[in-house]
């Protein structure tokens, strides 16, 4: 794999590509670590990310980010836009985004994004972990008891390395735009890619409570805007548990 301006590393197996890059020495330039198998892959809030050999792609990109700390919550949205751009260009026209960090297609979960950061002097090292299902939706659906989407359902022939390259290039470009203008550079594009735009959502909050409202795009800081009976509400941490036509 060749990605302009990025050092590419590959290992056959590791616990978590995010953990390896977060714990390693601070890179002078962006680094991408890909693996054929993750034995301890993670999703949001410590959930396990299933990554069996040959079933999908898993990689992480580490890059220094020069934006105020208060803006970093929007990084998973930036990564989502980049991944969706790349997937659509490769032929997965149904690729969309589910707030805050899921890639979906045809009503099933296609992939996930986990962004983790650490302070690096006056900058921030951000590590973007991306996992995408490529093959074997039926088996994964039975195991997880949820609807799953895989690349091979939408593209009959593809190359995993090309998939990683295209997403990584799109991610670098999106991060350049984010560094220049903040989330405003990609907010409209994210909203156009939102799988649940205009739908009635039920969102489970971090404290266990739920809030229901009509999806109304993103707030300026990347929070999900919901139009509720009490007015517009911004949800900054939570999980969409149901969606239906408004």
Provide the whole-model pTM: 0.92
Strand partners, 39: none
Q: Give the per-residue pLDDT at 55.
A: 82
CB atoms inside a 10 Å sphere around CB 82: 28
* Residues 140 and 32 both lie in one domain: yes
Q: Is 2 within the bounds of a domain? A: no
Q: Is 1 within the bounds of a domain? A: no
* Residues 173 and 116 both lie in one domain: yes
Q: Give the per-residue pLDDT at 130.
A: 96
Domain limits at 148? 7-193
* Residues 172 and 239 both lie in one domain: no
Q: Is 121 within the bounds of a domain? A: yes
* Residues 211 and 147 both lie in one domain: no
* Residues 134 and 220 both lie in one domain: no
Q: Give the per-residue pLDDT at 143.
A: 74
Structural domains counted in the chain: 2
Q: Give the per-residue pLDDT at 243.
A: 95
* Residues 149 and 226 both lie in one domain: no
* Residues 42 and 160 both lie in one domain: yes
CATH of the domain at 223: 2.30.30.100
Residues of the chain with pLDDT under 50: none
CA distances (Å), origin 38, targets 18, 49, 166, 220, 241: 10, 8, 21, 35, 27
User: How many helices (H) and strands (E) are present in the chain, helices listed first?
Assistant: 5, 12
Q: Is 181 within the bounds of a domain? A: yes
CATH of the domain at 43: 3.30.930.10
């Amino acid at each position: 794999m060749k990605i302009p301006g990025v050092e590419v590393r590959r290992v056959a197996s590791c616990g978590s590509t995010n953990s390896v890059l977060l714990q390693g020495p601070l890179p002078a330039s962006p680094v991408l670590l890909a693996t054929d198998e993750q034995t301890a892959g993670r999703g949001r809030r410590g959930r396990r990310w299933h990554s069996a050999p040959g079933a999908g792609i898993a990689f992480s990109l580490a890059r220094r980010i020069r934006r105020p700390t208060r803006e970093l919550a929007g990084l998973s949205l930036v990564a989502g836009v980049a991944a969706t751009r790349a997937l659509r260009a490769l032929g997965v026209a149904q690729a969309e985004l589910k707030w805050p960090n899921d890639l979906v297609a045809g009503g099933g979960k296609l992939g996930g994004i986990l962004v983790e950061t650490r302070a690096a002097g006056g900058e921030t090292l951000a590590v973007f972990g991306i996992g995408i299902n490529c093959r074997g939706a039926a088996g994964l659906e039975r195991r997880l008891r949820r609807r799953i989407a895989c690349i091979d359902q939408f593209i009959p022939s593809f190359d995993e390395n090309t998939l990683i390259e295209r997403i990584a290039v799109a991610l670098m470009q999106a991060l350049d735009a984010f560094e220049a203008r903040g989330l405003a550079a990609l907010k409209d594009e994210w909203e156009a890619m939102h799988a649940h735009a205009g739908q009635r959502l039920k969102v489970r909050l971090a404290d266990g409570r739920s809030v229901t409202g009509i999806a109304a795009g993103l707030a300026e800081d990347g929070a999900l805007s919901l139009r509720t009976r009490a007015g517009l509400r911004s949800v900054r941490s939570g999980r969409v548990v149901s969606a239906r036509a408004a």
